[in-house]
Structure formats: structure tokens, C-alpha cells
Amino acid sequence: QVQLVESGGGLVQAGGSLRLTCAVSGLSFSSYTMGWFRQAPGKEREFVAFINWNGGNGYYADSVKGRFTISRDNAKNTVYLQMNGLKPEDTAVYYCAKSQRAYSSGSVYYGRSSYDYWGQGTQVTVSS
């Protein structure tokens, strides 16, 4: 079955860095666009970044642009989120997600409804 497992979260001071990892199994990883979302307490789950199935540049929420970088290693079935310059408002549970359709890319992947499998999440806490 399809599994997505996030890791790499933790507690960091403002201005620090973390790298999140999402290990994917049970599917042809290289065929799918992958995304990262986050959810803070009492808030809706929001888009952070996505990377197309065929790689290339990532696409980002305005709130993280210039600080976060999404990448993928198809040989390792893994997607990463490098987070630099962390701020207290980045505190949230971070989730990776797999696109519903294979060999598909584009602006639809800014939205949660375009993903069908999600990981369990990893907590990121940024102290001021």
C-alpha cells in the first residue's frame, strides 16, 4: 500500500534551519507531483510547496518563498523540504502529500484537493 512517512521536525530557534524528509513507498514515486502542507493549531491546513513529477523548480506559498526549498530524489523515493530562516509563525505540523494523478503538473497542485495520500505529519516548533 501507499505510505508516506515524514521525519526531521523538531524544536529550533528563530532564524534556524531544519530539513524535512518524506519517504514514499508503494507506488511509482517518480510519476507523481509531491507537495508539502502545514497546519497550525486552530487553523486550516495550508499549502507550503510542491514539486512536479518531472522535477525542476519548486512552487511556493508567498509566506515561505525565498526561505524554503523543495526537492526530490527519485532514486530514493524521497521528497525534501529545506527550511531556512525559520520564524515563530512557521510553527505547525508539516505534511507531505502525493498528487492524485500521475504525470500531471500545474497550478492545481496549490490546492489540497489535488492530493490523495498524506503522511502522518511531523511537528516543527520555532521559538522566538
Residue 31 near residue 95, CB atoms below 8 Å: no
| C-alpha cell at position 21 | 524528509
> pLDDT under 70 in the chain at which residues?
none
Task: Give pLDDT, residue 56.
Answer: 85
